[in-house]
Amino acid sequence: MTATRTNSPAWLLLQDGTCFAGTSFGAKGTAGGEICFNTGMTGYQEVFTDPSYTGQVLIMNNAYTGNYGVKNDDVESDSVKISGLICKNMAHRYSRMVADDGLESYLTRNNIVAIYDVDTRALVQHIRSKGAMNCVISTEHSEIEALKAALANVPDMAGLELSSQISTKEPYHVGKADAPIRIAVMDYGAKINILKCLADRGAYLKVFPAKTGIEELKAFEPHGYFISNGPGDPASMSYAVDTVKDILATEKPLFGICLGHQLLALANGIPTFKMHHGHRGLNHPVKNLVTGRSEITTQNHGFGVDPEAIKKCDHVEITHVNLNDGSIEGIRLKGKPAFSVQYHPEATPGPHDSRYLFDDFLKMIEESM
């Protein structure tokens, strides 16, 4: 399949004044967000639709993006969630028997501004040394003052609350209603495959809007609670921290992923912090300190849990660490059936090494029933 090459110019301006020129791909217009990069070599459609990327302009480290097109069901949510896209090369032809569309048409339909022909190696090295910052990409402004004005409107990721905007508006169910195990899911921007991983193991889920109170959660009579991934700064989510505290008070099993991990830490008095440039990719090595085994993990986070504060917290145990930088990848509470990981065991896209965590959670629930 081919698409017409437009070759129209596009520009990228970073918050520190650095500028890149490139070529437009996808929707026309101007888009801003926090710039971040994903080192994965495949799985771009799942990444673009991951709700945790809300508010972020994504650089793909892979030299070539779009070669296998898109498929209607290779998604992690109902729409593309990235604010914008930056690539080295974008495929104008795609090749996959079962593909439904090409990437450019998909981005255009989803109103996503993208820029390619950018030296992404230089750009990623820049972010790696300077750290996370905001940016704008534009097909309509080439004047630096106009780009700067657009950039001034992009909110800081630190302190930004996004989950309540993208969470489901109404509760919904996943799985079979007669399943023996019921799990209440807090939707702060949940990826579809996390829900599938739980339902495939025989759980019936009720997925709740971000600001649902404990009484409504309890009315579902859940045997366990799941705290989802999601975008934004966990420290801005006091409503969610309160919900996690209320859930812990029920003594029912709790499992949290990524944002859910950060919220479990915050609910136990452990602060989170903004990382230099975060972890986003499919090959982050993590060691499970309980089993001594290592796993290769999928990651997507720009905030982390404070390691020093955990060490001082008697009732929280570190279960997983990142083998690249020693950052905290997993915790569990002593004396309570609650645990969480900073990475993504559902791993769409990515290796399935960590799927055992869903089995562990279901087993924990069975043992508590």
Ligand X SMILES: NC(=O)CC[C@H](N)C(=O)O
Is position 300 annotated in a ligand binding site?
yes
Known catalytic membership, residue 276: no
Q: Is 24 annotated as a binding residue?
A: no
**Alpha carbons 254 and 340: distance in angstroms, whole number:** 8
Residue at token pair 């004396």: 335
Residue 92-111 contact track with ligand X, rule CB under 6 A, x = bound: --------------------
Is 52 annotated among the ligand-binding residues?
A: yes
Tokens representing residue 235 in the block: 């420290």
- Rounded to whole angstroms, how far apart are CA atoms 260 and 246? 14
Please give the single-letter amino acid code of residue 204: Y
Query: Is 346 considered catalytic here?
Result: yes
The region that residue 8 occupies, defined by phi over 0 for left and psi between -120 and 50 for alpha, beta otherwise, is beta
Please choose, out of 75-83, 193-201, 295-303, 324-332, the segment that lies near ligand X by the rule CB under 6 A. Answer: 295-303
Cβ proximity to ligand X: between 302 and 330 the closer is 302
- Considering the complex, what minimum distance in angstroms separates the CB of residue 169 from ligand X? 20
From 87, 197, 258, 313, the catalytic residue: 258
111 annotated to a ligand binding site:
no
- Annotated ligand binding at 303? The verdict is yes
302 carries a ligand binding annotation: yes
The residue (of 15 and 228) whose beta carbon lies closer to ligand X is 228
Determine the 3-state secondary structure of 197 from DSSP. helix
- Span 47-86, contacts to ligand X by CB under 6 A: 52
Question: Greatest CA separation found in the chain?
Answer: 64
Q: Does the footprint of ligand X cover residue 327 (CB under 6 A)?
A: no
Q: What residues numbered 218-237 form the site for ligand X, per CB under 6 A?
A: 229-232
Report the C-alpha gap between 266 and 211 in whole angstroms: 17
Concerning whether 87 is annotated as a catalytic residue, the answer is no
Per-residue binder mask for ligand X (CB under 6 A), 244-283, x = binder = --------------xx------------------------
Q: Which residues of 342-356 are buried (b: 16+ CB within 10 A; e: fewer)?
A: bbbbbbbbbeebbbe
**63: DSSP letter:** S
> Which among 270, 269, 301 is positioned nearest to 286, based on CA atoms?
301
- CA–CA gap between residue 138 and residue 158 (Å, rounded): 24
Backbone angles phi, psi at 247, to 5 degrees: -65, -45
List the catalytic residue out of 46, 104, 295, 346.
Answer: 346
Out of 43, 66, 69, 302, which residue is the one contacting ligand X (CB under 6 A)?
A: 302
Q: Which residues fall in the annotated binding site for L-glutamine? A: 52, 230, 232, 259, 262, 300, 302-303
Contact footprint for ligand X (CB under 6 A): 52, 229-232, 258-259, 300-303
Active site residues: 258, 344, 346
